[in-house]
Every structure is written in structure tokens, then in C-alpha cells.
Structure 1
Amino acid sequence: MIRLALLSCWNPYHTRSFVRDLVEFPEARLVAVWDDDHERGTAHAAEFGLPFEPNLTALLDRADIDGVIIDSSPAQAASLIELAAQAGKHALADQTLAMTLREAEQVASHIRRANIRFAVDMSLKRWPVNLAAANAARSGALGEVTCMRVRNAHHSAIAATTSFASRFLDAPYGVFSDLGAHGLYLTHDILGRPDAVTAVVSRFTGHSAEDNAVCVLEYANGTIAICETSYVAGQSPFAIELYGTEGSFLGGGANGIHRKLLQPSDAVVRAYGMEKQAELARDASEMPDAAEPSTLSKWLEAIELAKKRKESNGSSAPNNELPAEWNARLDDAIALAELLEALYLSAETGRKVYLRDFE
């Protein structure tokens, strides 16, 4: 049995999603909840039928806990992941590893040194429409991609009835680090690391954190990517668009309903080519029927394998002996931290930021 603790319930939508998803894995179960906001943590622990532990050190010292799921604010994620690694606990983080490149690399060093199984849940990579977009780009059907656009937005900050907490709008980091992070890692997955970024943000609701934002990413070969995100967009459908030298891919959500996992039935896909238009359209419309295995399932599998190896050999496999996928996951998390740091610097200074400045 894999025994897990939940560290922070910052985003109730994601917290409940993790708890709900764990029901599908009889080999794992949550045994405790911690939150720096004791009132919030106690309430969620009661909702999930779990004990609340107010002392984080005591929780991480427990020998019966194998790993932790971290659903904290973006500003707190790095410190919690580092503490989990120092305690030898496997860790699954929600979206972000850190908010700066230096911080991300520091945490990554702790992860590697502790030889824990670590993953960041980048859930939109598993959406069938995004898998189809990546397939279209990598197959060469579009030629060379010259422009990419991703939009991920909802209206929780302005909805008449909403459970959207004010802490999301009064935090140091706003929508870029939440909904906007999805567009950034999707863009990085397809186009790689940009040369420079420019960010524009607004505060439509008047709070301290940005709630409406867009960024432009520039690449060495001339490709441009646009990522849009917002907390103040009513019924805004998800969109992912790729424009290439030989064709275009347009995909997205049909109904404007925000979900953690977009279903094939919610999505629309269109593709356009030149003389290959019919073939391209047919290929692009054949989205996967189901999403790839979740990060949670792969993480639990890795923990189980590590436990079995430790029981038989006395130690788990070092991270450099794991499949390349696991090191790639950590590299992706570091890349996202670098992008977020550059975007917030651009938003603060009002200028273009070159990523080479962080090297």
C-alpha cells in the first residue's frame, strides 16, 4: 500500500480532483492533510474523511508516509517540494515546480540528491485535442510551424456565484501562474524554449494579482507563439492553433466549459492544407479516443517500483537509471519556471525579456 499525504488545499478544484482520482487506485490512499491555513486544511480534511496534521515537520517525519501531493500556491510550491525531498518523500506537484529558474534548479538538485520520484501534473498535455495538435506538428503535415496560439480562460473571478477565493487575486502571482501555465507548457512541448518573451497583463477586477493576460514568445527561427489566459472571460472555449508553411491546425473546446480534462466529445478540430487538404483534415480529426495515462498513475507506478526494488535490494533505483521520461519531466518543470520568471519580469518592466539573461 502506498500511503500519501496532501500538502495544502490551495486550489479546492484541483484538490478535490486529486482526491477523486485516487479512488481509482486501490494500491494507494491518502492518510493525512496539512495546510498552512489551519481553518482551510481542517475543513478539507473533514470533507475527505482524513485527519488534519497542523505540524508539517511531524507529518514529513512519519515513516509510514511514502509520498505527498502538493497543491499549494505557486509561491509556496518550491519550499514544500524541497522539504518533501529532504524528508525522502516522493512528491507530485500541481503544475509548478517554482517561480524562478534559480529556485527551480535548487529544488531539482534536492530532488536528484534525495532520489525521490517527482512529477508535476501538467494535465492539459493529456487532452486528446492537444495530443492531436502535437501529432500534427511533429508529423510534418503542417510543414514548419510559423505561429502557435493557445487560449485557456474562465470567468470565475466575475461569476455571480463562484467558489473562487479572493486569495487567487490577492496573491503575488495571478492567472499566468495558474491557467496561463497550461498554455506555456503546451507551447514549450511543441516549439521548445523561446529566445524572448513579452507579457501584457491587466487587473480587471482591481485586485493586486493579474486576472487577464497575454504573452508573445519569439523563437530563433522566426516562429511566434501567443498564449492568452484570463479569470474574467465568460464561457471562453479552450483553443489551440498551429499555423505552418503547408497547413494549419485549429482545435479547441466547443462549449466553453472549463474542465481539468477536456473530453473528445467537447472538442472540435479542423485542419487545412494545400493540395493535401483532404488528407490533412482526415488525419487531424482522428483524435485519440482517450487521454494518455495520467501523471498520477505513472507517479504511483514509479513509487511502487521503487518500493519493490528497495525491499529486494536495499535501495531504490537512482534517478539516472530511471526511464528518460522522468528526467524529461523535471526538465519540463524547470523550463516552465524559467518562462514564468521571464513573463513576470516582462510584465513588471514593460519590456521584452531575453531568456539568455537567465543563463
Structure 2
Amino acid sequence: MLNVAMLSKWHVHAADYARKLQSHGNVKLTAVWDEQPERGSEWAAQLGADFEADLDTLLRREDIDGVVVDAPTSMHADVMVAAAEAGKHIFTEKAMALTVEECDRISAAVRKAGVKFCISFPARTRPHQLFAKQLIDDQTLGDVTLLRIRNGHDGALNNWLPEYWYDEKQAGGGAMMDLGCHPMYLASWMLGKPKRITSMFHYFTNRAVEDNAQCSIEFVNNAVALVETSLVTYRTPSALEIYGTEGTLMISDDSVRVISKKLDLPFNGWISPTQLPKEQPLPIIQWADALLDDKPMPFGLEDGTKLTELLEAAYIAHKENRTVEFK
């Protein structure tokens, strides 16, 4: 049995993570901590878990093997360093932290303690994205010249996100820092090392953080990624487009079409694949299974740091109105 503590209900995904772990069968939610004690106490009662108002007290408990971090992004570094130093395995909501320096602090603490770490990258478990990565790795599309990924919803229009979501001190940013993480880590996974980035952020609902954003990223392999995200779009299709020297992949929601010089077909033209890679378990389940069964841990420290490297540079590019070069 894996004993897990939930660290904060700040993030909108926290309740779903708790439900997923409770339905696992071999996981027990032992305790809850929250930077807002009233919220945490109420949640602990709902989960049938203990509430600990003091984080250090919770982390000293021997009946906790791992923690799920859903605290404000601005608190991630301090919370995860404390958890690692207490010998607790860590699952965290993205982003890992607000700066690469903070990610390095977390990584050093995790490695020193010898605990396991996983970040939530759910888009890397889905059939469509796995298929896209497979085509890139197999060179079915030739050399990738342009990648476009769009992820958006209407949360800022219809106000179904909590208002603190737009508090820069807690969240560290707006649409790009949250929803934009998904296209960012997909671009990093598919294209490798970034070379430079520019950003264009907008404030459609006049909140303190951006609600509509786009980044252009050039990679060392000469590919360009267009990363788009929005909290002010109505029923946007989840778009993934890859253009290469020998083929093109177009994904819009559940529609998948590919054309390539390399596909051995009796005709030349667009095809819709009938079989895609199998969907993998969600990262929170993979984390629990890896701890229970001593399996390799997916989506680790380097993955989280690469995402923050892109995000940190994206915000610098926006705030300073310039192109940011990566080292």
C-alpha cells in the first residue's frame, strides 16, 4: 500500500488527482496540508484523511511515502525541497517551478535524498501525440520544418476558473504558465533543444495576467514551433500540425490525417490511420505504479526543467519585448 499526502487544493486538478489515487486500489490518502487551513481541513474531511496545518509536521510523519504537490506554482520550490529533504517521493502539477534556478534547487534536493519525482505531462500519454512523436522519430515526415500546437478553452470568458488563477504572485503567469505548458512540453519533447524564443501575450479580459498567448520557438535542429494557448476561446479544437520535408501530419481533436512520400501505399494522398498507439496511464497513475512496483519513473526532473526553461524565457521575451536566446 502506498501512503500519499495531498499538498494543497489550490490547483484545479487537485481534486481529480485525489479521486484517481483513491480509485487506484493500492493507494491510501493519509493526510492533507494546505496553505489555506480552512480549505485544507474541509478537503481532508471529505477525503477521510488527517489534516495537518503545519507542513513540516506532515512531512515528518512516517505513514507518508509520497506527496502530490498542488500548491501555488510560486510555492513549488520550497514545498518540494522540504518534501525531498523529508524523504518523500514527489508528484507535482506543472509547471515544476517558475525559474530554472528553482528547478535546480528541487533537482538537487531530490537527487541528494534519493527520492522519486514525476511531473504531470498528460499530453505525452495520449494516442495522437504518441503517434506524432513516432512519425518524427521514424523520419516519416522527413526533417521537421514547422510544428504548430494549440490548446485553449473559455475559462477566463465564462469565469469557471477561480479568481486567484489570475494572481501573478501565486500563479507566476497566466494562460502560457498554465494551459500553455502542454504545447510547450510537447514541442520540447518532439523537437529537442531550443535556440531562441519570441512571445506575444494579450489581456483580452483585462486581468493582471495574460489570457491569450503565442510563442515562436526556433530549435537547434532548425525547426520552428508555434505554441498557442488561450483562456478566451470558444470550443477550440486541440490542434497539432507537423510540417516536414517529406510529409505532413494534421490533427484536430479526433481527426488525424497524414501524407508522406515514405508511406508505402497504392495511392498518393492523405490517409487517416486506423490504428494509433495505445493510450498510456495518466502520469499520476504511472507515478503510483512506479513506486509500488519499482518501475521506471516517467516525466522526471530534466523534463520539468526543460519546460520551465521555455516558460521562463517566454515571459522574459514578453516583458522585455525581445527575442531571448537559449544558452
TM-score interval (norm. to shorter): over 0.9
Matches within 5 A, 1:276-355: 276=263, 281-282=270-271, 284-288=273-277, 290-305=278-293, 323=296, 329-355=300-326
Q: In 1, distance between residues paired with 2:157 and 2:114?
A: 44
Distance 1:7 1:280 in 2: 51
Q: Distance in 2 between matches of 1:223 and 1:298?
A: 31
Residue 57 of structure 2 aligns to a residue in which SS? Answer: helix
Match of 1:271 among 249, 258, 269: 258
TM-score normalised by length of structure 1:
0.84
* Residues 65-97 of structure 1: per-residue CA shift (max 9 Å, x gap): 111001122211121111100111001001222
Shift of the 280–178 alpha-carbon distance from structure 1 to 2, 3 Å rule, reads: farther
1 CA distance for matches of 2:269 and 2:37?
54
Q: Aligned partners of 2:306 and 2:269: how far apart in 1?
A: 31
CA contact (8 A) 1:145 1:244 kept: yes
Say whether the 8 Å CA contact 1:199–1:213 is kept in structure 2. Answer: yes
The Cα shift of 1:282 comes to 4.7
Structure-2 residue corresponding to 1:94: 93
> In the alignment, which residue of structure 2 is the partner of 1:165?
162
1:101-250 maps to which residues of 2 (within 5 A)? 101-159=100-158, 162-171=159-168, 172-250=172-250
Q: Using the alignment, how far apart are the partners of 2:161 and 2:139 within structure 1?
A: 41
CA contact (8 A) 1:270 1:285 kept: no
One-letter amino acid of the counterpart of residue 27, structure 2: A
Superimposed CA distance per residue, residues 86-127 of structure 1 (whole angstroms, 9 cap, x where no aligned partner):
111001001222121111112101000000011111111111
Structure 1 stretches of 4+ with a deviation exceeding 3 A read 274-285
Q: CA deviation at 1:283?
A: 7.3
Stretches of structure 1 that go unaligned for 5 or more consecutive residues are 254-266, 307-321
How much has 1:222 moved relative to structure 2?
2.4
Q: CA deviation at 1:24?
A: 3.3
Letter in 2 for 1:299: W
Q: Secondary structure at the match of 1:77?
A: helix
Distance 1:136 1:281 in 2: 15
Corresponding residue of 1:256? none
Cα separation, 2, equivalents of 1:303 and 1:280: 46
Q: Answer yes or no: is the 8 Å Cα contact 1:3–1:30 preserved in 2.
A: yes
Contact kept in structure 1, 2:193 and 2:220, CA below 8 Å? no
**Could you report, residue by residue, the CA deviation over 1:39-75 in whole angstroms, capped at 9, with x for unpaired residues?**
3223333333333221111111111111100112221
User: Scaled by the length of structure 2, what TM-score is found?
Assistant: 0.92
170-179 or 84-93: which moved more? 170-179
Letter of the 1:252 partner, please give it.
S
What is the CA-CA distance between 1:305 and the residue it aligns to?
Answer: 4.6
In the alignment, the residues of structure 1 paired with residue 178 and residue 161 of structure 2 have an alpha-carbon distance, to the nearest angstrom, of 13
CA contact under 8 A between 1:269 and 1:285: conserved in structure 2?
no
Shift, 1:252, TM fit: 2.8
Question: Which secondary structure does the structure 2 equivalent of 1:195 belong to?
Answer: strand
Q: Tell me, in whole angstroms, the C-alpha distance in 1 between the residues paired with 2:46 and 2:305.
A: 34
Give the superposition deviation at 1:337: 1.3
Letter aligned with residue 163 of structure 2? S
Q: Which residue of 2 aligns with 1:263?
A: none
User: CA shift at 1:353, angstroms?
Assistant: 0.2
Q: How many residues align?
A: 322
Q: 1:147 offset after TM fit, Å?
A: 0.2
Tell me how far apart the structure 2 counterparts of residues 341 and 300 of structure 1 sit (CA, whole Å): 29
Once the two structures are superposed, what CA deviation does each residue of 1:190-221 show, in whole Å capped at 9, x if it has no partner? 10121001111111111111111000001233
Which residue of structure 2 lines up, in the alignment, with residue 74 of structure 1? 73
Does the Cα contact within 8 Å between 1:5 and 1:69 map onto a contact in 2? yes
What is the CA-CA distance between 1:304 and the residue it aligns to? 2.6
Give the counterpart letter for 1:163 in structure 2. W
Give the % identical residues: 34
Residues 274, 169 of structure 1: alpha-carbon distance in 2 compared, 3 angstrom cutoff: same
Equivalent position of 2:51 in the other structure? 52
Where structure 2 has 5 or more consecutive residues not aligned to the other structure, the ranges are none
Per the alignment, in what secondary structure is the counterpart of residue 158 of structure 1?
helix
- Provide the residue aligned with 1:314 in structure 2: none
1:271 alignment partner AA = V
Quote the RMSD (CA, aligned, Å). 2.0
Question: SS of 1:175's equivalent?
Answer: coil
